Amino acid sequence: MGKVRKRKGHGPKSQSVVEHTEEEEITLDTKDNVVQTMIDQISSANVEEKYCGIQTFATHIEDPETLQNIISRDLIKIVAPHIIDAASSVRNAAAGALRNVSALKFDLCDTLMENDVMTPLICFFHQYAETWVPDTTSKTNVEDIDTFVQCVNLLLNLCESSDLAIKYLGESRILDIFPRYLDLPTFGVEIVKAVMQCLYVVLEDNPKAIEKIRSSSENQLKMLLMLEDPEHLLIKTLAAGVTINLYGGKIDALPVDLMNKVISILAESLSIDHRSSCHQLSSSIPVGDGKDKIPSVKGKEAQILDSKIKSLLQLIDAHQCAIEIVANLCSSEESDDTVDMESSDSEEMQDDEVLSNGDSGSLLPEDKLSPHVLEAFVSMDVFSKIWSKTQLPAENVMLIFSEYEGSQLIYKKLLTLQTKALLCINNILSTLPIENLGGVDGVYKVWVDAGKLVFKQNSKDMNLMESATAVMRAALDKIKFSKSGVTQSKLFQDMELSDIELMLIGIRDCQVAEIRSNLIRMIGILALLLVNNLNEATSNVICMITEFLIEQAHKESEVWVLAEAIDTIVDLYSEDETNELAAKIKLPEKLAGLAPILRNKARQQKKLPKEYKVLVNTANSNLPRFIKYMRETVSKL
């Protein structure tokens, strides 16, 4: 453990500082001792000792400092082999604890892989799952079911974050074992649900896994799609997602009858009002009076409440699954022959190409969705149904869920559902024709409502902030490319400086690069829309936005966000109408000051994802010629 630095004191204050420091040292030493005690217990031959040690491990993983100590002391390597321990209680504790670690943070899955968790996990399925069926007469039946579910969920999380985990899965017999677990009468909802969720993830862009599951499970999946009981909605929705992935993620590749069935299931899942269900359940949940603890529920009443909570959780999961499926269907992947900007000769690009914004002759996103699917999405009103999932239940209902221990998972899942729905709306905005989104006015309302989530609620949920700002950006993009110029002008004709102050403050204070990027691009599009209605007020707003973008670009630490800001300015001043504004704010000189900053940061930050690298190289290539173009243009005024 690192030592705690003692500060020098003067006079009577010094003793209190030393005492505080000693307390910190004791705390750190105590945490170190806790970890050592876990190691001793988990390494014991005694079943109760092992179980106790793993339980202690599970209770300490959410403390960042203790977790770091756990990782550095290789405690994960000590816990992992107990997934295949001879004692069912120990297996259950180990599987649950490791699954919880995998769910804490995405990068912890890499840590689990580095600590070779996959080896005992694969052994569990080979050793315990190949012939196992639940046995209601067994004393450990409930425990064994939970262990299986936890192991499947752990596998799902690892495969979702690691290509290596997918590789190990493909080399194992797990995908030969999983099909038997699609038998709902034998294995029940919880097991079938877990396996289906895992298959939904591992089948994506995985031809070998697709071939194996399709040959062994296609008929079982069709049977699951035909389930009629409302309680099986989640299973049906998952079966729809797995079926689509078996056809390479392309719903129009399915036989027509199967495609129609899948679409009808998505419509059925999205049609249910989750807020109404939440409000109904909240009336059954005990609440405190503000002074005492929330009263506990016992006996038959507790069983009924637990059943209601499970039903609502399954409904929320069904919504989330349907939303993810729609989001995937609406996402337009870049083609494989994307130009490698780093290796291309940037000088071959002409000045008029720099100013074209890349729009000429390109395929519109809404043209990429098959007519059959587009018609289905329009007829089932997918946009408004998913938009309704971005709305949380009433504030008092959310408070009840968050305070009662048995419903806290509902609270968390509702927040996740809201974020997923916003991400899906982002995809839908770029895919569906604007007339099927309520026209320009409808999309403008989405922009305003998403803005309330970002700027009015002071949310500390960065996932929500990122998804909401992405929606704002996509909404303005949709309006920008619409042909309703008159309507655009009416929407933004009263825009004043005070109207964008919250947005600029939001960008200035934001610590998350992805959110800054969304907001930067969004205010750039907003300025571009104001060009349609130039007057003294809108001209002042455009100049203010430009000055802010330049100031922000000088301070930006991430080169790809800097490139986004520069690209936004280039888009805005590629319009002839903004030439006088460019002269007024001396834009060529100010951009010339940014060029060396962009070049230097690009050299320093070379390891970037492909899409960011393309953005940076494009900005690096375009900026010098754009400065030259602007200087010539301004000089003629």
CATH number, domain of 37, equals: 1.25.10.10
Token pair for 11: 């006079």
The type of residue at 320 is: Q
The segments of the chain whose pLDDT lies below 70 read: 1-31, 289-292, 332-367, 456-459, 483-490, 492-499
Nearest to 150 by CA among 104, 100, 201: 100
**Which residue do the tokens 């936890």 mark?**
150
Containing 571, the helix (H) or strand (E) segment is helix 559-572
How far, in Å, CA of 33 to CA of 474, rounded? 52
The type of residue at 187 is: F
How far, in Å, CA of 65 to CA of 222, rounded? 48
Count Cα atoms within 13 angstroms, Cβ side, for 451: 21
How far, in Å, CA of 486 to CA of 491, rounded? 9
Q: What angle do CA 240, 242, 243 make, to 5 degrees?
A: 65
DSSP assigned state of 140: T
Nearest to 395 by CA among 387, 403, 405: 403
DSSP assigned state of 1: -
Tell me the per-residue pLDDT of 181-198, one tens digit each, with 9 for 90 and over: 999 999 999 999 999 999
Give the C-alpha distances (Å, rounded to integers) separating 600 from 55, 346, 559, 596. Answer: 51, 18, 9, 6
How far, in Å, CA of 169 to CA of 156, rounded? 10
Contacts of 273 (CB under 8 A, 6+ apart): 388
Residue 155 belongs to some domain of the structure: yes
Please state the length of the chain: 637
Token pair for 135: 């046995």
Kindly tell me the burial class for residue 482, based on how many C-beta atoms sit within 10 Å of its own C-beta (0-12, 13-18, 19 or more). Answer: middle
Residue 165 belongs to some domain of the structure: yes
- pLDDT confidence of residue 80: 96
Nearest to 79 by CA among 105, 110, 107, 100: 100
Residue 550 belongs to some domain of the structure: no
Residue 68 belongs to some domain of the structure: yes
Contact by Cβ (8 Å): 54, 82? yes
Give the chain's count of helices (H) and strands (E): 31, 0
Nearest to 412 by CA among 422, 424, 402, 404: 402
Q: Could you give the number of structural domains in the chain?
A: 1
How far, in Å, CA of 533 to CA of 575, rounded? 13
**Which residue do the tokens 């199967």 mark?**
258
Tell me the per-residue pLDDT of 205-228, one tens digit each, with 9 for 90 and over: 899 999 999 999 989 999 999 999
- pLDDT confidence of residue 363: 53
Contacts by 71-78, CB closer than 8 A, 24 or more apart: 71/111, 71/115, 73/35, 73/36, 73/39, 74/115, 75/35, 75/38, 75/39, 75/42, 76/101, 76/111, 76/112, 76/115, 76/117, 77/115, 77/116, 78/39, 78/42, 78/43
- pLDDT confidence of residue 495: 61
- The residue range of the domain holding 85 is 30-172
Contacts of 318 (CB under 8 A, 6+ apart): 233, 234, 237, 269, 272
Number of Cβ atoms within 10 Å of the Cβ of 367: 12
Residue 242 belongs to some domain of the structure: no
Contact by Cβ (8 Å): 173, 126? yes
Count Cα atoms within 13 angstroms, Cβ side, for 485: 5
Give the predicted TM-score (pTM) of the model: 0.82
* Measured distance between the N- and C-terminal CA atoms of the chain, rounded to whole angstroms: 68
Token pair for 364: 């519109």
Residue 102 belongs to some domain of the structure: yes
Residue 526 belongs to some domain of the structure: no
Residue 21 belongs to some domain of the structure: no
DSSP assigned state of 254: S
Nearest to 216 by CA among 241, 242, 240, 237: 242
- pLDDT confidence of residue 358: 41
The type of residue at 82 is: H
Contact by Cβ (8 Å): 185, 229? no
